[in-house]
Structure 1
Amino acid sequence: MTDLWTPITLAGATLPHRLAMAPMTRSRAKPDGTPGDLAADYYAQRASLGLLITEGTQPSDDGQGYLATPGIYTDAHVAGWRKVADAVHDGGGRLFIQLMHVGRRSHPDNTPHHRQPVAPSAIAAGEDMFTMTGMQPVPVPRALTTAEVRQTIADFAHAAKRAVEAGADGVEIHGANGYLVHQFLATNSNQRTDEYGGAMENRARFAVEVARAVSEAIGPERTGIRLSPGVPTGGIAEGESNDDLYRYLAAELGKMKLAYLHVLHIRSDAFLEDIRRAFGGTLVLNRPGRPRDQIGADVAAGRADIEALGSMALANPDLAQRLKTGAPLNEPKRALFYAGSGAEGYTDYPAMDAA
């Protein structure tokens, strides 16, 4: 039986186990989107997790939504991420940079160009967002033209090339959590009448074309994608109504032989198994709120190949060792998940030897 401690090959490298670090926004980048000075330390401390999927990283000015998130499309961004990649590799880990275009989940005050957010349709997310002047409602976005949709696909491919140039082992396309790719999938956020809206295949087209463009730019073995079927985040309301779309999308992505499909899973295990069969390749699973005694259960049951952990990995730089030995875990400092510019709540979590 496969367990957590069975090695697995991903992107041409052998990982020592089936654990991964899930992507987590930390909001500690420099004003120009370059990773902060402690980013290399933060990721390197967690290199023993094997596969590290970074915080959401915008592929363009339009892609930024939150304050102090990093980018990967300028020379300065590449130089900053190269320090991170080198540090992770020195620690024996592999780094996938998550490409996150937030779409309508943005505010002009938080972006370099201070323009109106863009989205599939001019429908607001109906949420508030933190800015330098406090919480503000996100505005109604501007609907992308068909030509702009295609340019956005090209932006993803360009960012993927820059990530590899920075030394990353691959990229993960963020198609989940109510951000741009997810906005194209859901009917309550996508009311387009061109080839990117309407029928199920049309609403999935943007995700498919982004994945194809990225895989053609850097290779399918370096390309992953994250989906969150039914997750009601950022104004998305799909429930079970999009189940057939996700089955279709997983099959289309599977044809590309991508490195992995990463599923944020809140639905039934039967539906997850449908997605797994349709994709046919490596499946990374993030099950929110997974208790410690259930870590490894999905790999053991054959529902997933890798299990991605979030706040546990944030708070425990040596999480794999702690889980394998049964050692106690550090508690996450939740008030500092998205705040702070120094080490507190970021790089000051002790490893077992220092605890």
Structure 2
Amino acid sequence: MGSHAAPQYVPSETRLFKPLKVGNVTLEHRIAMAPLTRLRSDDNHVPLPLMEKYYADRGCVPGTLVISEATAIAHEEEGQRSNPGFVSEAQTEAWRKIISAVHANKSFFFQQIWGMGRASDPKHLAERGFPYRSSSNVPMKGIDVEPTALTEEEILQIIQSFVDTAKRVVAAGGDGVEIHSAHGYLLDQFLTAGVNKRTDKWGGSIENRARLTLAVLKATSEAIGAEKVAVRFSPYAGFQGSEKSDSVELYSYIISEIKKMGLKLAYISLVEATGDPGAIVRGDKAINVGKTLDFILEAWENRSPVMVAGAYTPESAAKAVEEHYKHWDVIVAFGRHFISNPDLVFRVKNGIPLAPYNRATFYLLKQWEGYNDYPFSPEFLAAHPEAVHPMTE
């Protein structure tokens, strides 16, 4: 008896390339573009025209789900230079053009929306006359400013801002919104016991720490329909102080409450332990390695698809949908490889090697370089020249 080598999956022959219904749309395949902060907006947090090409090009294979970078729900949550908002008329109009460009390639667009809370740059907020706030006054490592704890009134205003922004996204043509409750940003600052030291109904117990995320999901779903609402969680990340000792209990409770409310969300997006941005971007020590998200998928019971992110390659994504996640409707999100491969889906389907990315250019403010200068494969250009969004530098 010879030893059996592990099966080598050809991505195009796996469930990666089977259609999947997500909310109101049907994807042609199960590779999504992950939400990626890129800092290409102007000084008023309005998306620059070069962003139309970037997003359209990454939706160049019809039926692709493209998720926007995290976008502020209010001007006071535009916590970093050149990240976008979806609040003012100018911002809304700029996003409308981006969404339209993605739709022109017959792909779909979800807007990731967030509050940044204490992950903001306090100097940037102060320059614009906005307060630096969080769930409580626990400072963030590396920032020597203590945030003020949000008042009850401000918390209710944040819920309303998520609702208002979701409505603007849908009015601008978006297929849905992804609520960002991960990676140490505002909603996650309420979930995390080490950050949330409140003693009112918004802090303390798991029920109280989960209250804000659940309130946002409920109110947003009532406003635009649960089938247009998704949510992102990072149960095992330590990025920006988001490490939790009670992840299994906390997220099991959240999933059970979403089900109790009867919300059939478009999808739930989960960052695997291998996808912690602290380890990937900053070289921090990886934590929780080896832990799986299976407890969430089991609790969710395939009510709607689950998106997973975790430094996937085409080969590991194919293996994941055929083996580890074979019982679930899973979408695999690609991030950094989508930056350097506008035609990533085409390349994966046709076995074309992926071009390497240059991390040094990921966050160049407002720049074309490292953004729209990664080439399409010659094979894609020969087959689909019309799908490339025209724009000169």
Q: Which TM bucket (shorter chain)?
A: over 0.9
Deviates further, 182-191 or 7-16 = 7-16
Spell out the pairing of 1:28-177 with structure 2 (5 A cutoff): 28-47=40-59, 48=61, 50-111=64-125, 113-127=128-142, 137=143, 139-177=145-183
Q: Distance in 2 between matches of 1:338 and 1:288?
A: 20
| Structure 1 contact 51–93 (Cα < 8 Å) conserved | yes
Q: Distance in 2 between matches of 1:26 and 1:342?
A: 10
One-letter amino acid of the counterpart of residue 16, structure 1: E
Structure 1 residue 347: Cα displacement: 1.0
Partner of 1:132: none
Q: Distance in 1 between matches of 2:365 and 2:270?
A: 30
Q: Distance in 2 between matches of 1:11 and 1:138?
A: 43
Structure 1 residue 76: Cα displacement: 1.1
One-letter amino acid of the counterpart of residue 234, structure 1: Q
Structure 1 residue 33: Cα displacement: 1.5
1:262 paired to 2:269:
yes
Partner of 2:5: none
Structure 1 residue 235: Cα displacement: 1.6
One-letter amino acid of the counterpart of residue 80, structure 2: Y
Tell me, what secondary structure is at the counterpart of 2:97? helix
Query: Are the structure 2 counterparts of residues 138 and 284 from structure 1 closer, same or farther at C-alpha, using a change threshold of 3 Å?
Result: farther
1:278 paired to 2:292:
no
How big is each residue's C-alpha offset from its partner over 1:8-55, in whole Å with a ceiling of 9 and x where there is no partner? 111222110011000000001011111111111100001127111100
Structure 1 residue 268: Cα displacement: 7.3
Partner of 2:7: none
How big is each residue's C-alpha offset from its partner over 1:242-262, in whole Å with a ceiling of 9 and x where there is no partner? 310111112222331111100
| Structure 2 contact 72–115 (Cα < 8 Å) conserved | yes
One-letter amino acid of the counterpart of residue 258, structure 1: L
Tell me, what secondary structure is at the counterpart of 1:86? helix
TM-score by structure 2 length? Answer: 0.83
Q: Distance in 2 between matches of 1:327 and 1:237?
A: 38
How big is each residue's C-alpha offset from its partner over 1:304-324, in whole Å with a ceiling of 9 and x where there is no partner? 521111001111111111111
Q: Unpaired segments of 5 or more residues in structure 2?
A: 1-12, 274-287, 383-393
| Structure 2 contact 343–376 (Cα < 8 Å) conserved | yes
Q: Distance in 2 between matches of 1:109 and 1:36?
A: 23
Match of 1:11 among 7, 16, 23: 23
Q: Distance in 1 between matches of 2:309 and 2:165?
A: 28
| Structure 2 contact 37–69 (Cα < 8 Å) conserved | yes
1:241 paired to 2:246:
yes
Q: Distance in 2 between matches of 1:341 and 1:70?
A: 11
Structure 1 residue 107: Cα displacement: 2.0
Query: Are the structure 2 counterparts of residues 268 and 212 from structure 1 closer, same or farther at C-alpha, using a change threshold of 3 Å?
Result: farther
Q: Distance in 2 between matches of 1:2 and 1:282?
A: 20
Q: Distance in 2 between matches of 1:24 and 1:94?
A: 16
One-letter amino acid of the counterpart of residue 131, structure 2: Q
Structure 1 residue 211: Cα displacement: 0.6
Structure 1 residue 199: Cα displacement: 1.0
Count of aligned pairs between the two proteins = 345
Query: Are the structure 2 counterparts of residues 342 and 230 from structure 1 closer, same or farther at C-alpha, using a change threshold of 3 Å?
Result: closer
Match of 1:289 among 293, 311, 317: 311
How big is each residue's C-alpha offset from its partner over 1:312-341, in whole Å with a ceiling of 9 and x where there is no partner? 111111111111111011111211101043
Partner of 2:320: 298
Q: Which has the higher contact order (CA 8 A, sep 6+)?
A: 2
Q: Distance in 1 between matches of 2:327 and 2:55?
A: 29
Partner of 2:217: 211
Deviates further, 315-324 or 109-118 = 109-118
Partner of 1:131: none
One-letter amino acid of the counterpart of residue 22, structure 1: A
- Structure whose residues are more often helix by fraction: 2
Tell me, what secondary structure is at the counterpart of 2:299? helix
Deviates further, 182-191 or 262-271 = 262-271
Tell me, what secondary structure is at the counterpart of 1:237? coil
Structure 1: 4+ residue segments shifted above 4 A: 267-271
Partner of 1:226: 232
Query: Are the structure 2 counterparts of residues 138 and 76 from structure 1 closer, same or farther at C-alpha, using a change threshold of 3 Å?
Result: farther
Query: Are the structure 2 counterparts of residues 264 and 153 from structure 1 closer, same or farther at C-alpha, using a change threshold of 3 Å?
Result: same
Q: Distance in 1 between matches of 2:321 and 2:241?
A: 32
| Structure 2 contact 96–172 (Cα < 8 Å) conserved | yes
Q: Distance in 1 between matches of 2:304 and 2:321?
A: 11
Tell me, what secondary structure is at the counterpart of 2:321? helix
TM-score by structure 1 length? Answer: 0.92
Partner of 2:4: none
Query: Are the structure 2 counterparts of residues 211 and 194 from structure 1 closer, same or farther at C-alpha, using a change threshold of 3 Å?
Result: same
Partner of 1:186: 192
Query: Are the structure 2 counterparts of residues 302 and 153 from structure 1 closer, same or farther at C-alpha, using a change threshold of 3 Å?
Result: same
Structure 1 residue 292: Cα displacement: 3.5
Structure 1 residue 193: Cα displacement: 1.0
Identity of aligned residues (%): 37
Q: Distance in 1 between matches of 2:195 and 2:298?
A: 28
How big is each residue's C-alpha offset from its partner over 1:90-129, in whole Å with a ceiling of 9 and x where there is no partner? 01111101002111111233237333311110011113xx
Tell me, what secondary structure is at the counterpart of 2:210? helix
Spell out the pairing of 1:301-312 with structure 2 (5 A cutoff): 301-312=326-337
| Structure 1 contact 62–103 (Cα < 8 Å) conserved | no
Q: Distance in 1 between matches of 2:308 and 2:80?
A: 23
